Structure 1
Amino acid sequence: MLNNSQIVRFFKNQTIFLTGGTGLIGKLLVEKLLRTSFDLNKIYILMRTKHGKSPQQRFDDFFDSPCFEKINENFKSKVSFISGDCLKPGLGVKSEDVDILKKETTCIFHIAANLNFRQTIKEASYNVSSTKEMITLAKEMENLKIFAYVSTAYSNCLKSHIREEIYPPPIKAQAFLDLVNSCNEDELEKTLLPYVTKWPNNYAFSKCLSEDLIKNSLTEIPAAIIRPSVVTNTINDPVPGWINNYHGFVGVAAAGYVGGMQNLYGKKEKKVYLVPANFVCNCILAAAWETANSKSVKVFNCVGKSLSLERLINGLNSLYWKFPSMKCLWYPHIVIIQNKFWYDVKAYWTLMLAYCIDFIFFCFKNPVGATKTRKRIVEQVNVLSYFITHEWKFDEDRFINLWKKMGDEDKKIFPFHDSATDWDKFFTICVLGVRLYLFKDPISTLSKAKAKFKILFALHYTIVAMFYYFLFTVFKFLIKQRLNSPCRQELLVWGVLLALRRWVASSYKDEVSRPWIYAAAFLPWANEHCDQ
């Protein structure tokens, strides 16, 4: 079957230069190439020193990931590392390595990027400058056939309808880089404020600039820009559920899994676009094959399938019950809160609770960390809130045409367009993937985890009951002096609590005022039936 694959034949004798090779998509790309394209020449991966490990040390550990378990040891020799750093001029690559890359490289896959949504403008500028350095290097490669760049579907998120085209940025990439190089951090923030103020984060802004840079600089080299939406675990290949980071949806799923995220601010009806990581990998390889035959820049919106936020969270909650983890810190259950004020109130309350937990741990000389974890989760929700309170329409004409152009063999080897996604199966794979690959919690602990889950469930609702009883007692005490009838006191207090509960459960902002109408209508009835 591999011999009949057009994509496999395209990568025969090719030499790949890859940035971001140690990330989720990068590792899947290396794995897929080694497993399907036996006749490729070489894969060079740009690696930098990180967390105290040298490029050599990181490369020695590269194949330890579970995603490489299907790879024959003999094919691993086709992969080498190039010492460098995307944060440095010239990518920090030695001159002798530059000469090798210029002479041998035929395909570039530029995936490396800082994915932190809270990064400063200065930090985000490296996403743009590294792209510029890659373009400069690409222009000097004699045998280069394709320049593939991984962007994001939200690179132009200020538009509600996103087509497969490159939109003009608010400021040209070169002008942006000139400002970064000539201004200090404070001056840079003030100067660029008019350009970035509407963007939800600097990461998306930097991707918009990078796309424009590719469009204007790569006029003679075929270039493919792949825009994935929210990338999740692998759905089946090479390992079901594999994941190695906490970005996006995976971070929400993981935080909810351990009980660290009880509340999520968002709109229930808003659509969330999810795409499995292996689908993104396959789309990149297919787009490189198809675009190499043209002399233009092509954009592919690889956004996967959409479902409502409510459907997504309900799916996760059902699986938290079915496959609880021993890593649970509290009862795992996520509630969507659509009122921002009430979400802020509950976020403050849970933060105070985290302080109390840390204080108790400190008194018993145990490690503390609940407050730090809670703050990190709140920050994660805040940066994601823009994407779960807004909705987009994505054009996928070129993406779909790419799929149609592929032969039957290629569709089996490199699937990326699945119109019949089984969401229940998908959620199960994602949750189990988080459990196995992020929490390192094997299925063998499931029975003990279920017992722990029952205890946390009982403890959670005991505290909730105590909280509402506390509110009941406070309201009753406050009105005791003005209402002498015990019956009237009870009815009024429960009426106020009912109104408060109805407000909490409000689905839309225009319903917020309704509970007080209910309470106002309830009080005359109480007075009439409780007269002494």
Structure 2
Amino acid sequence: MNVVAVQKMIKLCRDFKHLEALVHVSTAYSNCDLTHIEETVYKPAVEPQKIIDVLEWMDDSMVEMFTKKLLKDKPNTYTYTKQLAEWILLTEGAGLPIAIVRPSIVGATWKEPFPGWIDNYNGPSGLAIATGKGLLRSMRGECSSLADIVPVDIPINVMIAVAWYTAVARPRQLMVYHTTTGSVNPFTWGEMENEVVNSFKRTPLDSCFRRPKLIMTSNSYMHDYLLVISHLIPAYMADFAYRMMGQKPRMVKIYRKLHRSLETLSFFTCNSWTWSNNNLDVLKHQLSPDDLKVFYFDARPLHWPTYMENYCLGAKKYLLNEDLASVPAARAHLRKLRNIRYVFNTVIAVVLWRTLIARSQIARNLWYLIVSLVFKFVRYFRITSTM
């Protein structure tokens, strides 16, 4: 889809007698093996046509081995094939009025059609909902890394403006436009984690599995430990309960799917990139003040806490179809989950402590010391209060 379809589109456009503009949507991560990415098309290590020809006769096992060698420092075939597509546009599309728009991680809307609108679970949306439901408790990432999320209405407006400018100005070379937020309005993964958790605590989702809580860590060993403690053990316990009630177990399956998503995203949450955006600045100065109000794409005025609040509300309303009238009941459910956790933790602590006292003389001596100190404190408090 990402490579051959582009070739066919170029061939089709060559037959158009009055082609005004061809705008291709790529990704800001098409060259993510670099730390700083310019507004230019980078040449891939292998010509796209050679890869297409080789894939025609390879079986699945050979393709899998071949893919690993091709990707090198790229995390997946999506970013790799997007780079190939850009090179095809530059070489095979020479002479056509082509422009490339590279958005980063696309999220819910900022303003239009209304704040927080979203219609799919792609990108951060699915992870935000998993956090709100209490399913996602640990995520591998660097809290200080930039979460380069861009509201979907911004790249849409850029695409419209780019199509107009390409048709009117007819640039002599293929223009690349980065649609990112990190360089103009930085927002980190740690800040996003905090905003999502707090938002879902204020306006919780219905039927949460646990209270919203997320730990982001760059330590892979700590992350693996948290996956077992916070994900897998509760999942197996829940599935056991489902079987006891005669229902079909599902939590382990859900967590396996969630872990695959986390593994895919970890490359982007553990690293940061910078992008040049000179072409976008030039485009901005080509639009009139009235057009800039309608086709806004400057992310500087974006207030991230408000945006994330609307994002979480939008996920609740438009993805999960949950009524905001059910929020009081959802909050009551969270309080119930909190009380259950307190009771469970207390029982575990008492059992462990009693086990230690029964088997360790040091633990018994420590327990007697604590009790005697408490007794002395209460006695002292009573004497001083009667004086």
Give the letter for the 1:341 counterpart. Y
Matches of 2:345 and 2:4 in 1, distance apart?
Answer: 51
Deviation at 1:252, TM superposition (A): 1.6
Match of residue 373 from structure 2: none
- Is 1:359 the counterpart of 2:240? The answer is yes
**How far off its partner does 1:464 sit?**
4.2
CA distance, structure 2, for counterparts of residue 490 and residue 215 of structure 1: 79
> Is residue 2:9 matched to residue 1:134?
yes
Q: Is 2:122 aligned against 1:247?
A: yes
Give, as a single letter, the amino acid of the residue that structure 2 aligns with 1:238. Answer: P
- One-letter code of the match for 1:302? T
Aligned residue identity for 1:229: S
Q: Conserved in 2, the CA contact under 8 Å of 1:265 and 1:339?
A: yes
How far apart are residue 424 of structure 1 and its match? 1.9
Does the alignment pair 1:307 with 2:184?
Answer: no
Checking the alignment, whether the CA contact within 8 Å between 1:327 and 1:441 is kept in structure 2 is no
1:192-223 deviation line (CA, Å, top 9, x unaligned): 43221321111111111111111111111111
290-299 or 215-224, larger mean C-alpha shift: 290-299
Is 1:298 paired with 2:175?
yes
Looking at structure 1, the residues matched to 363 and 100 of structure 2 have their Cα atoms a distance apart, in angstroms, of 73
State the distance in 1 between where 2:351 and 2:41 align: 57
Name the structure 1 match of 2:289: 408
SS at the partner of 2:159?
helix
- Give 3-state SS (helix, strand or coil) of 1:227's partner: strand
Distance 1:465 1:484, change over 3 A: closer
Kept in 1, the 8 Å contact 2:357–2:363? The answer is: no
Pick one of 483, 486, 502 that aligns with 2:364: 486
> What aligned pairs does 1:466-477 form with structure 2 within 5 A after superposition?
466-467=347-348
Structure 2 alignment gaps of length 5 or more: 370-387
Matched to 1:258, the amino acid is K
Please name the residue that 1:275 is paired with: 150
Q: Percent of counterpart pairs with the same letter? A: 25
- Corresponding residue of 1:370: 251
Q: d(CA) in 2 for partners of 1:255 and 1:171?
A: 39
* 1:193 aligned partner, one-letter code: K
**Which stretch of structure 1 is more off in the superposition, 230-239 or 289-298?**
289-298
Query: Does the CA-based 8 Å contact 1:476-1:490 persist in structure 2?
Result: no
Q: Is the 8 A contact 2:356 2:363 kept in 1?
A: no
CA deviation map 1:348-405 (0-9, x unaligned): 2321321221121122122431111111111111111111111111111111221122
Please say if 1:233 is aligned against 2:108.
Answer: yes
Contact 2:357 2:364 in 1 (8 A): no
Q: 2:302 aligns with which of 418, 421, 440?
A: 421
Q: What is the match of residue 388 of structure 1?
A: 269
Q: Does 2:196 correspond to 1:316?
A: yes
Alignment-derived partner of residue 73 in structure 1: none
Give CA-to-partner distance per residue, 1:257-301, whole Å, 9 cap, x none. Answer: 111101111111111111100111001111111122224211101
Q: Is the 8 A contact 1:228 1:280 kept in 2?
A: yes
Task: Verify: 1:333 aligned to 2:210, yes or no.
Answer: no
Matches within 5 A, 1:456-471: 456-467=337-348
TM-score between the two structures when normalised by the length of structure 1 = 0.65
Q: What is the alpha-carbon distance in structure 2 between the residues aligned to residue 217 and residue 468 of structure 1? A: 68
Unaligned runs of 5+ in 1: 1-125, 492-532
Q: 1:166 to 1:465 in 2, by over 3 A?
A: farther
CA distance in 2, matches of 1:485, 1:451: 39
Secondary structure of the 1:301 match is strand
Counterpart residue identity of residue 263, structure 2: N
In the alignment of these two chains, the number of paired residues is 363
Q: CA deviation at 1:465?
A: 4.5
Alpha-carbon distance in structure 1 between the residues aligned to 2:252 and 2:212:
18
Runs of 4+ in 1 over 4 A off after TM superposition: 464-478, 488-491
Which residue type is aligned with residue 340 of structure 2?
L
| Contact map agreement 1:252 1:261 (CA 8 A) in 2 | yes
Distance in 1 of aligned mates of 2:311 and 2:123: 13
CA contact (8 A) 2:116 2:313 kept: yes
Q: CA deviation at 1:406?
A: 0.9
CA distance in 2 between partners of 1:470 and 1:246 (Å): 42
How far is the alpha carbon of 1:186 from its aligned partner? Answer: 1.2
In structure 2, C-alpha distance between the alignment counterparts of 1:262 and 1:455, rounded to whole Å: 19
CA drift of 1:180 comes to 1.4
Q: Conserved in 1, the CA contact under 8 Å of 2:39 and 2:279? A: yes
* TM-score computed with the length of structure 2 as normaliser: 0.88
Aligned to 2:334: 453
Question: 1:460 Cα shift?
Answer: 3.2
Q: Does 1:211 align with 2:92?
A: no
* 1:145 and 1:222 in contact (8 A); partners too: yes
Instruction: Please report how far the alpha carbon of residue 457 of structure 1 lies from its aligned counterpart in structure 2 after TM superposition.
Output: 2.2
Change (3 A) 1:300 1:460: farther
Alignment partner of 2:330: what SS?
helix
- Structure 1 residues 378 and 294: CA distance shift in structure 2, 3 A: same
Residue 262 of structure 1 is matched in structure 2 by 137
Distance (whole Å) between structure 1 residues aligned to residue 368 and residue 217 of structure 2: 29
Alpha-carbon displacement from aligned partner over 1:215-248 (angstroms, at most 9, x marks no partner): 1111111111111111110111112211111112
- Kindly report the root-mean-square deviation, in angstroms, between the aligned alpha carbons of the 2 structures: 2.0
Contact 1:331 1:460 in 2 (8 A): no
Cα drift, residue 440 of structure 1: 0.4
| CA distance in structure 1 between the aligned counterparts of 2:51 and 2:305, rounded to whole angstroms | 45
Contact 1:221 1:296 in 2 (8 A): no
Cα offset, 1:469, TM superposition = 5.3
Distance 1:128 1:447, change over 3 A: same
1:489 is displaced (CA, Å) by 8.4
Q: Which amino acid aligns with 1:381?
A: L
